[in-house]
């Protein structure tokens, strides 16, 4: 039996499914030897991690990678406008 502490640390999620989708999920859970809840929660968690990783990872083509490295290695000297902006930034940060 769950204690009050365990109940407070858990959140509830409800979803309405068609009978066909529920049956599909139940079959998959049965094949894995897991409860429907465990199957759904772990599947959702894995998908959430995959989506977050996909959106937080920048993938460049070979050409883009080479252009980026070239721009970093052979970056031009800062012009007067950039130097003035850097000076203004430093003055505002020191305030």
Give mean pLDDT, residues 1-19.
78
Above 70 in pLDDT, residue 30? yes
Q: How many CA atoms lie within 13 A of 92 on its CB side?
A: 6
pLDDT of residue 24: 98
Q: CA 16: distance to chain centroid?
A: 25
- Phi, psi for residue 41 in degrees, rounded to 5: -65, -45
Q: pLDDT tens-digit profile of 42-72?
A: 999 999 999 999 999 988 999 999 999 999 9
pLDDT at residue 28, as a whole number = 98
pLDDT computed for residue 94 by the predictor:
82
The DSSP result for the chain, as a single string, is ---HHHHHT---------HHHHHHHHHHHHHHT--HHHHHHHHHHHHHHHHHHHHH-----HHHHHHHHHHHHTPPPP-HHHHHHHHHHHHHHH-
């Amino acid at each position: 039996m769950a204690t009050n502490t365990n109940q407070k640390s858990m959140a509830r999620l409800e979803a309405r499914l068609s009978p066909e989708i529920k049956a599909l999920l139940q079959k998959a859970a049965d094949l894995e030897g897991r409860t429907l809840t465990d199957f759904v929660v772990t599947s959702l968690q894995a998908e959430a991690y995959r989506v977050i990783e996909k959106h937080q990872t920048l993938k460049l083509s070979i050409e883009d990678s080479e252009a980026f490295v070239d721009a970093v290695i052979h970056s031009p000297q800062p012009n007067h406008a950039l130097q003035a902006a850097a000076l203004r930034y430093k003055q505002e940060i020191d305030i």
